[in-house]
Structure 1
Amino acid sequence: MINYAKMTRAFLSLLLFISCTTTAEDLVESYPEAAMRAKVAIIIDDLGYTMAEGRKLAAIPFDITFSVIPFTPYGKKIAHLAHRNQKEIMLHAPMETLAQVKWERGLDTSMKESEFITTMEKMVDDIPFVKGLNNHGGSKLTQNRPRMDWVMAFLSRRALYFIDSRTIANSQAGKAAQHAQIANRSRDIFLDNEKDPEQIQVQLEKLRKIALKRGDAIAIGHPYPETLEALRKVLPEFAKQGIELVSVSKLLKESHKT
């Protein structure tokens, strides 16, 4: 007669042995189901200047988050397109940089608080269905803690999350977000600082390893043809390995649970 209790104990012992002697990556290669809890959020930002980029991105059958620049010619239309295709929408908020050349109309360290908040209101209201915000530029503004406190207090009132694009190492955004107790993270990987297809795939591989090691990861890219082609090629492999591609809000919600 088969002793099922003994077989169960042996099977659990085997699993314990495997987990103690292999890395997360080894488990995924042998047991794809082991990676089912690994989640990746990919943000494509700089959207709003051409409708074609939005259409191409919407056609990729994965849960990619759209980050749209306010006051752009096609920003609203792209947000509506993304929403119809069940994609999450973020605001890609222009913020002051260290460069002399101004970015788009956006947030500036020279603004008084009332003007600063009014500008934020106009930006958020310009793009429909927004769930959160990440900074466009911001190498100067994100270092300014009082201004970042203004940003986070506003996002708290609107129940929006914040993702730090991390355009400079000394960013104060994360500390300000934690102080305001809003959902927030920093990006882990930029996908396409180099618009080389092979290099983008290298970055996607780094993203995969971070997600498997830590349980989740966030990447930011742009709607370049090279980036979209790399996503079409690599994301099906993520799925086969059991890595779930999710919206930013879902990743934040799940990571908060843990």
Structure 2
Amino acid sequence: MSDAGSKSHRPMVAIIIDDLGYKLSLGRDSAALPWPVTLSIIPFTPHAKHLAELAHNANKEVMVHAPMETMTERPWEPGLIQEMTEQEFVALGRDMLAAVPYATGLNNHGGSLLTASQDHMNWLMHLLHDQQFFFIDSRTSSDSLAEELARKNGVATESRDIFLDNVRDPQAVMAQLDRLEAIARKHGYAIGIGHPHPETLIALQAGLPAMQERGIELVPVSTLLEESDYRRRLASQTVHPQ
């Protein structure tokens, strides 16, 4: 983004639909949404490659939804775990990135344990920097170091602001969309994460057009990251009177 100014004066919202890869029909429905939602696909799942192709053909941004060890359990899928050596960790990480065609970013699936590990997050961010991927912290733990270490390693990054569908009810999801909009109006941008549940898709079909009518700009995650980076650089360059 140019230093001359922001591309948009409107608040920005990015919506990530993750947990994709197991159910083809719900993945298709997500890819068919007529807004620039970002689709995050679990690597090595039965429909990962096909859904990545569908998303790309529908002009949707694609991410890797990388399984990581939690405080209570290891990933169900092949995932990143604490006992891995650096070599094992990086090798699996590379395989994950390669398993989802067209992906340009990554967010954690689980990871309440692993995202709090400085060594493992540094390994991950070195890899993402090398591959020119961005990172979104799903914020499954308040102890996460992931966003901080992404910035230190030169990886474009932000954290999730709202989970949209912890309660699987269209009205509850609509209420979360309202919260997301309020955050975007306060800070200039906000990121919401949802899942390919029918209830979530119903709420998005109703809520996103209304959000646009109220002046919110719906954008892919990468566009929001450009805006957030611009705002951070602008803030750091501001000279305050002594």
In the superposition, the TM-score normalised over structure 1's length comes to: 0.85
Which of 161, 164, 167 is equivalent to 2:140?
A: 167
TM-fit CA distance, 1:253:
0.8
Q: Which residue of 2 aligns with 1:251?
A: 224
Alignment of 1:236-247 (within 5 A): 236-247=209-220
Residue deviations 1:191-229 (CA, integer Å, cap 9, x gap): 011112211111000001111111100000000000000
Residue deviations 1:59-91 (CA, integer Å, cap 9, x gap): 210000000000000000000000000000000
Q: Structure 1's 231 and 97: CA in aligned 2 closer, same or farther, altered over 3 A? A: same
> What is the CA–CA distance in structure 2 between the aligned matches of 1:68 and 1:186, rounded to whole Å?
18
> What is the CA–CA distance in structure 1 between the aligned matches of 2:217 and 2:193, rounded to whole Å?
16
Q: Which residue of 2 aligns with 1:116?
A: 89
Q: Which residue of 2 aligns with 1:74?
A: 47
Alignment of 1:227-238 (within 5 A): 227-238=200-211
Which of 51, 55, 68 is equivalent to 1:95?
A: 68
Moved over 6 A (4+): none
Alignment of 1:1-258 (within 5 A): 37-100=10-73, 102-258=75-231
CA contact (8 A) 1:45 1:222 kept: yes
Q: Which runs of 5+ in 2 are unaligned?
A: 1-7, 232-242
Q: Which runs of 5+ in 1 are unaligned?
A: 1-34
Residue deviations 1:109-130 (CA, integer Å, cap 9, x gap): 1000001000001000011001
Residue deviations 1:147-182 (CA, integer Å, cap 9, x gap): 000000100000100000000100010121111021
| Larger fraction in helix | 1
| Identity fraction in percent | 50
- CA RMSD, Structure 1 to Structure 2 (Å): 1.1
TM-fit CA distance, 1:103:
2.4
TM-fit CA distance, 1:102:
3.8
Residue deviations 1:228-253 (CA, integer Å, cap 9, x gap): 00000010111111211100001001
> What is the CA–CA distance in structure 2 between the aligned matches of 1:59 and 1:119, rounded to whole Å?
30
Q: Which residue of 2 aligns with 1:6?
A: none
> What is the CA–CA distance in structure 1 between the aligned matches of 2:75 and 2:204, rounded to whole Å?
31
**Larger Rg computed on CA atoms:** 1
Residue-pair matches, total: 224
CA contact (8 A) 1:96 1:137 kept: yes
